[in-house]
Amino acid sequence: MYAASGVLSVHTERGTSIVPANRVAWTPAGFTHHHRAHGHTDMRIVFLPASLARLVPGHPAVFLASDLAREILLTLTGPGNYDRVARVYDRSARARLHRVLVDELHEAHEQPLQLPEPHDDRLQAIARMLYEKPADNTSLAELGRTIGASARTLSRLFHNELGMTFYEWRTQLRIYHALVLLADGHDTTHVAHACGWANPSSFIAAFTNIIGTTPGRHRSTKS
């Protein structure tokens, strides 16, 4: 699934993949999933045969599309529809494009845009609170007192179950909300405060570290 513009979120049992413009969300066979578009989004979908799918990671992932991957994805999906592509490219030509696309994805680095879904009841309780109020700056110790667990226990659960610290997970959650708000047309200052950053410069630094570009540049290139 490719976001030519806008922002997509792809949900599986593993969590939520955040897919800004020019990223590819890969969902292997066997993963029940659903997706949602935020803002004005141009979404393209390509299915890979099993012989090629096994060369891509066996878990949901997000990749930055190379220039070549982007052109292949756009070629395979439009403008127009599959019937038009089928008329222009015969079966063997489409198969070659698929193989090159897989080569490009194989060489691409996975993007840190997967927000893992907790399964422990205590982590789920914290996740629900922060999904509802991403700007909440309550410490892990205070959240733990609310649900009856120590900060040490919760830190261990975040590390063992999600593979990251609480603060890393919360930053990922906030970036997800920030991308949605930016797609809806909100400016950087509003998004920074709505997602829990004390000032726009802190938000810009965190956003750039994860997305690879500033919020302003992201907004100017997403459409």
Beta strands in the chain (DSSP E): 2-12, 15-19, 23-26, 34-44, 61-64, 114-116
Structural domain contains residue 113: no
Query: Which residue type occupies 130?
Result: L
pLDDT score recorded for residue 217: 87
The per-residue pLDDT string of the chain (223 residues; one tens digit each, 9 = 90 and over) reads: 998 888 899 999 888 988 988 899 999 998 999 999 887 888 999 999 999 999 999 999 999 999 999 999 998 887 655 555 555 567 888 899 999 999 999 999 888 888 888 999 999 999 999 999 999 999 999 999 999 999 999 999 999 999 999 999 999 999 999 998 998 889 999 999 999 999 999 999 999 999 888 998 887 765 4
pLDDT score recorded for residue 222: 53
- Note whether 84 and 144 are same-domain residues: no
Cis amide linkage into residue 79, ω under 30° from 0? yes
SS3 content of the chain, % helix, strand, coil (to 5): 50, 15, 30
Q: For residue 110, what is the DSSP state?
A: B
Contact predicate 223/38, CB 8 Å: no
pLDDT score recorded for residue 185: 87
133-137 long-range contacts, CB within 8 A, separation 24+? 134/173, 134/174, 134/177, 134/194, 134/195, 134/196, 135/174, 135/193, 135/194, 135/195, 135/196, 136/196, 137/196
- Note whether 89 and 125 are same-domain residues: no
Give Cβ neighbours of residue 31 (< 8 Å, ≥ 6 apart): 12, 13, 14, 60
Last residue of a domain, one of 87, 107, 127: 107
- Note whether 7 and 56 are same-domain residues: yes
- Note whether 166 and 128 are same-domain residues: yes
User: How many structural domains are present in the chain?
Assistant: 2
pLDDT score recorded for residue 21: 87
pLDDT score recorded for residue 223: 46
CATH number of 216's domain: 1.10.10.60
Last residue of a domain, one of 58, 76, 107: 107
Residue indicated by tokens 């649900």: 147
Last residue of a domain, one of 107, 141, 175: 107
pLDDT score recorded for residue 188: 95
**Which domain range does residue 170 map to?**
118-221
pLDDT score recorded for residue 89: 64
What distance in Å separates the CA atoms of residue 83 and residue 158, rounded to the nearest whole number? Answer: 47
Structural domain contains residue 194: yes
Q: For residue 161, what is the DSSP state?
A: I
